[in-house]
Amino acid sequence: MSNVNFKDYLNDQLKNPEFKKEFNNETAKLESALAVSKIRKDAGLSQRELAAVSKVPQSTIARIESGANTSVDTLTKIGNALGKKLTVSLS
């Protein structure tokens, strides 16, 4: 079996419209997860502490940070609690 370059493999898979749709969906969720995790850590808060100030269950914070889907309302609560503005971009 020959070695496969991941970027080449991914680019080939992205030619499939269904794969590309799901890939983009998962990428968006992971970007949200990373953003929430980063602003929480930058604020020096644990998940439990962020949950308390944002009035969002700690389990929800954990799910968001693991890449689970969430609502704009929940992200807005988290952002407001940290003095951040939620910005949604469709490009």
Residue 48 CB neighbour total at 10 angstroms:
10
Mean pLDDT of 55-82: 95
| CATH fold group of domain 6-81 | 434 Repressor (Amino-terminal Domain) (1.10.260)
Residue ranges of domains in the chain: 6-81
Q: Compute φ and ψ for 17, nearest 5 degrees.
A: -60, -40
Please tell me the distance from the alpha carbon of residue 50 to that of residue 38, in angstroms, as a whole number.
12
- Average the pLDDT over 54-70 and give the result: 95
Angle, vertex CA 74, rays to CA 60 and CA 85, nearest 5: 130
pLDDT value for 1: 62
pTM of this prediction exceeds 0.85: no
Distance in angstroms (rounded) separating the CA atoms of residues 38 and 32: 10
Rounded to an integer, the average pLDDT of 50-69 is: 95
For 16-56, write each residue's pLDDT tens digit: 999 999 999 999 889 989 999 999 999 999 999 999 999 99
